[in-house]
Amino acid sequence: MSLPCAETELLAACRILFGPGVRLSRDFLHYLQPCGAKAAFRKKAKETHPDLGCASDPDDRLRRAETFRELKSANDLISAFLLQRGETPLPSVSRSAPGGRPGRNYNSESFFRGRVPPRPLEFGRYLYYRGVIPYPALIEAIAWQRGQRPAIGSIARRWGWLSETDIRQVLRHPGMPNRFGCTAVSLGLLKPFQVQTLLFYQRSQQKRIGRFFIERNFLSETQLGQLLADCQAHNSHHTDHTAPQTDTFSQSRS
């Protein structure tokens, strides 16, 4: 039986966080504990953080930066899942989307109640902390958005940078399922600047995450525009110049 898309994304994130030596399954997700996920993230972060590599080697720094971004994205997804899984189940209550349009039924505790954290936030997390969306919808949105991205190998093949044989070589390499780009660079099939170009193009082709919340009747176009402005104002007020400038959720509405 095939896994739901969101669960497939969670298992892929676990593979990045825990490595190829862990046998992943639904049982693994069921028994996974936050302390274990945090320990795995810290260990991997020490291995991949770009500031801890060879500062004199720009190619090494690029590879590390790419791997660290993937690791952080995987950790964000798993953290969201663990927080939602840990909530005490309550009877399902109807929660309509803003504007009175029909919404999905979500557990009442799936919605955050409290103050928005005083730090820069990706747009999806900002919506959660504003109480607009529940965490399950955020996880679904991440999986939905990633599903819009064309594969890096397909882009490189269209551009004439890789052949079908090259792609098969990358996919069969023992280093997989690490990032495709990192493996291609290690095999000498792509240069780091080519991987960066492919990643930028890949992200430009995916739908903006705000579109998910419109299509699922959480927001109207007008509400999305106002919330985007609110999020930008919040982040400007709480700018952290040491934080990474790339993220998964900070996307415009178009």
Measured CA to CA in angstroms, residue 213 lies from 94, 116, 139 at distances of: 17, 19, 12
Buried b / exposed e along 14-53 (16+ C-beta atoms within 10 A): bbbbbeeeeebeeeebeebeeeebeebbeebeeebebeeb
Q: Which of 73, 81, 113 is nearest to 209 (CA)?
A: 73
- Asked, for residue 139, whether it belongs to a domain, the answer is no
- Asked, for residue 56, whether it belongs to a domain, the answer is yes
- Pairwise CA distance, residues 9 & 16, whole Å: 11
Side-chain-side CA neighbours of residue 197 (13 Å): 9
pLDDT at position 106 is 62
- Asked, for residue 215, whether it belongs to a domain, the answer is no
- Asked, for residue 36, whether it belongs to a domain, the answer is yes
- Asked, for residue 67, whether it belongs to a domain, the answer is yes
* DSSP-derived secondary structure for 24-82: --HHHHHH--HHHHHHHHHHHHHHH-GGGS-TT-HHHHHHHHHHHHHHHHHHHHHHHHH
- Asked, for residue 25, whether it belongs to a domain, the answer is yes
- Asked, for residue 189, whether it belongs to a domain, the answer is no
Return phi, psi of residue 188, to 5°.
80, 15
Write the pLDDT tens digit of every residue in 109-163. Answer: 677 778 888 888 888 888 888 888 888 888 888 777 777 777 888 889 989 999 9
Lowest-pLDDT range of 93-102, 104-113, 222-231: 93-102
In sequence order, what are the residues at sequence separation of 6 or more whose Cβ sits closer than 8 angstroms to the Cβ of residue 36?
A: none
| Residue 15 lies in domain | 1-86
The yes-or-no verdict on residue 65 having pLDDT over 60 is: yes
Cis omega before residue 177 (within 30°)? Answer: yes
Q: How many domains does the chain have?
A: 1
Q: Which residue type is seen at 17?
A: L
Model confidence, pTM: 0.47
- Asked, for residue 71, whether it belongs to a domain, the answer is yes
pLDDT at position 215 is 85
Q: Which of 41, 33, 38 is nearest to 16 (CA)?
A: 41
- Pairwise CA distance, residues 142 & 119, whole Å: 21
